[in-house]
Chain A
């Protein structure tokens, strides 16, 4: 069954967010809520939710136009709209009576074979369907999204023995492929997987911070990055999700957890937190939480709560000896002989032992549990992967020393790791005590798996990049430098790849540029650039610019297809490689931009040239030499970044023909398939020629920027930088009766780049970016 139309009932934060994300998949969705007690507009609640969605930050919609796919309505006048929907998601408040009554109303109007799912986070499925018709039970399941639904990748899917397998398959497939979710099958138990473990983890971490007398900064410094947990740590995370939600989640878990559950034993309502909630310190959505920014006296001072006194004090930037000494060695952190080491020990012991004790109660395998924690809580490693880092024997000993029962799975492992690589394949320890392959869903190809299969040995590598054989004659180019910054080595690796692939008729047919880091690439290595400037290596800098241009050009006109598959940020030089690819298969969450002006430079690896070509090819632009120039100028001089692949298309960083993959795990397979498709009868693109206005266009663009400067919207150095960008885009000393070629424009790019990098104000921008991560407005 295809999901062609959907409905969400309940337009709260979760319901509306789910509706927005279904719209992101291009599917029309009806959003219904109750009729308000007062007012003329009977659909005011759902309409209000839609308005809120449009303004949500981070954005709920991948493109503003997606909002048009959401039809708001109310549950009294518009219930008939459900008759056209293939999937109805219920996301109303967690009240079993209300949900049951709603299902009774939905059932008669929905179309036969449609699927109904609940977004409940706490109520067991069998309780939800009690008293409902048999067909309803067959068409019912739980789809538990995480907040915000667009960005959190986990979807917990719960079925009962009555659920039709085809219904579950259809929803799982839709959530996976169209919504991009990592669908994890869970058992029908309280809190399913992620919240059950996550809430226990938070409780243990708060308890121990208070017991051991750690500050919130110290606690977050330990139970954050060193454990592969987002840097918000525990207290920062609570500020983010809302401290006031914690008692509600705890209450609902406590109402359904079995007697004797570990969480019941450690659950505590700390006076300091109760007081914070009472005082309105509920987190970032309120006036602050464990952390706040105090703006009194005109200054912005970061403050943190003293867990012992409940008073705010200036927040300290902590540097812990334990964390520094341990580095990436988690066990060393947990063994460190001070209170922060003890904190790591106790939090890890309680959280991981609890998680290990819950398999197979909550899920069939440890793989599902690890996946759920990675995707639902953004942990870099799941609980069992963390135990592996500590070692199962050491962990069993830790449990004993902490007075905890050694979980059966850990005991059964008996010193073996939970995961291993065997014959190039990742395997996990089953509940039966034997290893089995981790099986990826069909259509999922992970570079990590490719690497394992190759025994970690790429086809070729240098310090900046590696080339991997992803099968069927396709070579995968992976950035491997720190932060995927681009440098001379990256260019050398491209040259090597082109040498290996040759004419595309031999062993290799195509190149896919892809990596599995958080960000595809944030551009050229600025640190190196600054170093070169400081010792005035001008010829070398210009050479690198030229080398980049030639390499990107060579890739564009290579006799084989080049397909890029980015995810996360693709900025500056990382964006320029995409502009030169035959096809981009972008993950939906790809953030592209030519942001060079932010560091006082201009796109010098063909970015200006390619953006001009795209703007000129835009069929919707008005005629004449200026519109394409003005369009490219606006995009580059304002350093516009697309906040999704859809926005990247709007900004023309992506071509209309480029593809978008919603599920990141499917990105490489999609890119590879496209590369193979293009490899059949491949012909490289024709060279573009340009008709540009020359000096008159430059004056026109300068006038615009001068206007901005007078308004106070452009800084003095913005004027300098944009003048150089304009000089490139208008074609230098040309005229709109002539045409110029790419070489001419690339030379202008190089000249402009070199002029700017020699400007002290640009160097100030680079230095500021390197030290603060933020652009300098000079």
Chain B
């Protein structure tokens, strides 16, 4: 099998849905801008692109049809590059990378663009026409657990206090704000033109967030619960993209290799505690790589909620010094379909920047799943 590498990563700024600066931008336009920039920055020959795989959690409306194909046209990729859209909710664009890796490994192409997109301003969570199965709702209501309640369930099961969750949110904002301030986010961000001007900075980060400031918020999902808006990732607009190639193609064409994909895994778990999904997924991926968590120098763990992230950190034994070095989704935002490519691309970039050997990117998925990728330095 061929060795597969990540040869480029770019994303749009992430902004609050509705009130943020990207609310007026169509999601297909947003991702097309990012894909075009990725192709330009990596220098990959567009004619060599086998496929464009785009993850999206609610692929309808402006991010409906086969949005990957729309994006390819908008990004002016050659018609010869195929395109497909994939949905694994929040894991969608990491799934896109996994599909690309699988295809390249078995010789079905050398260069694949993997993207992710979600405009939570323009396409509501649950979509415009939520039509759940009445029978399933009756026989297995957990299948339709609301995300906030799953976070409460995890908080209760792991006896995570509100203060612990808030401490994580404070740390996430502090890390993100420091990275933003030091310009460490600048390289990955693609400036986006909007009707109200060019946007080139993330909009969700709140520098100076303090535990005291968060302590006054009301619980967001359960009247007597511990999860608040501040310890949840915000509704976000954003897009991200990663260039996945065979190692030999990257080397032959002088592409900037960030990391090699060492192993991948997905796993299911109970839907009412979907936030625990990264635990079995990461454990599988580690086992497949023949590694232990102690070998991992960079961890990108999606912070859908502080509660689920803390539970995963505890069970996986993640060293917090390796965790989300430039901040996580609580501070940066979580545009569902776009997050997987962001954290995988980010983990690859951090691996290089920090000079570490192995990285883990993992996230939880609504409905009860986890997805994980292990990367190694080349």
Residues of chain A touching chain B, judged by Cβ–Cβ distance below 8 Å, are: 622-627, 693, 695-700, 702-703, 707, 710-712
Contacts and interface: CB of A to CB of B under 8 A. Distances in A.
Given A707-B149, A712-B222, 11 more contacts: A624-B129, A626-B130, A626-B131, A693-B131, A696-B131, A699-B144, A700-B130, A703-B132, A707-B148, A710-B223, A711-B222
Contact of B134 (A624, A699, A710, A712): A699
Most A Cβ at <10 Å: residue of B130, B132, B134, B149: B130
Given A710-B149, A710-B221, A710-B223, A627 B129 contact: yes
Interface in B214-268: 219-224
Interface string B134-160: 100100000010101100000000000
A696 B132 contact: yes
Given A623-B128, A624-B129, A696 B222 contact: no
B294 interface: no
A625 B129 contact: yes
A711 B223 contact: yes
Contacts of A696: 131-134
Contacts of A626: 128-131
B334 to A, nearest CB: 19
Nearest to B123: A622
A711 B61 contact: no
A693 B133 CA distance: 12
A695 B129 contact: no
A315 to B, nearest CB: 33
A550 B149 CA distance: 45
A622 B128 contact: yes
Contact of B219 (A625, A693, A699, A711): A711
Contacts of B137: 699, 702-703
Contacts of A711: 219-223
A707 B146 contact: yes
Contacts of A710: 146, 149, 221-223
B134 A695 contact: yes
A698 B138 CA distance: 12
A624 B223 contact: no
A654 to B, nearest CB: 25
Contacts of A623: 128
20 contacts: A622-B61, A622-B128, A622-B129, A626-B128, A626-B131, A696-B131, A699-B132, A699-B133, A700-B126, A700-B131, A700-B132, A703-B132, A707-B146, A707-B149, A710-B149, A710-B222, A711-B220, A711-B222, A711-B223, A712-B224
B25 to A, nearest CB: 18
A627 B128 CA distance: 6
A703 B129 contact: no
B218 to A, nearest CB: 9
Most B Cβ at <10 Å: residue of A627, A695, A699, A702: A699
A703 B138 CA distance: 12
Nearest to B136: A699
A696 B130 CA distance: 8
Contacts of B222: 710-712
Interface of A is mostly: helix
Nearest to A623: B128
Most A Cβ at <10 Å: residue of B128, B149, B224: B128
A698 B133 CA distance: 10
Interface of B is mostly: loop
A712 B148 CA distance: 14
A696 B148 CA distance: 22
Nearest to B223: A712
A300 to B, nearest CB: 22
A625 B131 CA distance: 9
Nearest to B145: A703
B144 to A, nearest CB: 6
Contacts of B146: 703, 707, 710
A711 B149 CA distance: 10
Nearest to B152: A710
Nearest to A701: B130
A623 B129 CA distance: 8
B221 A707 contact: yes
A708 to B, nearest CB: 10
Contacts of A624: 128-129
Contacts of A712: 222-224
A692 to B, nearest CB: 12
A198 B131 CA distance: 62
Most A Cβ at <10 Å: residue of B134, B148, B219, B220: B134
A75 B219 CA distance: 47
B230 to A, nearest CB: 16
A626 B126 CA distance: 11
Given A703-B144, A711-B223, A697 B128 contact: no
Contacts of B128: 622-624, 626-627
Most A Cβ at <10 Å: residue of B126, B137, B221: B137
Contacts of A703: 130, 132, 137, 144, 146
Contacts of A627: 128-129
A697 B221 contact: no
Contacts of B131: 625-626, 693, 696-697, 700
B127 to A, nearest CB: 9
Contacts of B129: 622, 624-627, 693
Nearest to A713: B223
A435 B198 CA distance: 73
B134 A698 contact: yes
Most B Cβ at <10 Å: residue of A625, A693, A700, A702: A700
Cβ-closest 5 pairs across A and B? A712-B223, A624-B129, A696-B131, A626-B129, A622-B128
A624 B130 CA distance: 10
B115 to A, nearest CB: 24
Interface in B57-90: 61
Contacts of B132: 696, 699-700, 703
A669 B258 CA distance: 76
A703 B129 CA distance: 13
A462 B221 CA distance: 53
Contacts of B224: 712
Nearest to A700: B130
A333 B224 CA distance: 56
B121 to A, nearest CB: 13
Nearest to B61: A622
A154 B227 CA distance: 52
A627 B124 CA distance: 11
Contacts of B134: 695-696, 698-699
Nearest to A710: B222
A683 to B, nearest CB: 34
A698 B137 CA distance: 11
Nearest to A695: B134
A627 B137 CA distance: 21
A510 B271 CA distance: 60
B158 to A, nearest CB: 19
A696 B133 CA distance: 6
A308 to B, nearest CB: 45
Nearest to B130: A700
A699 B219 CA distance: 25
Contacts of A695: 134
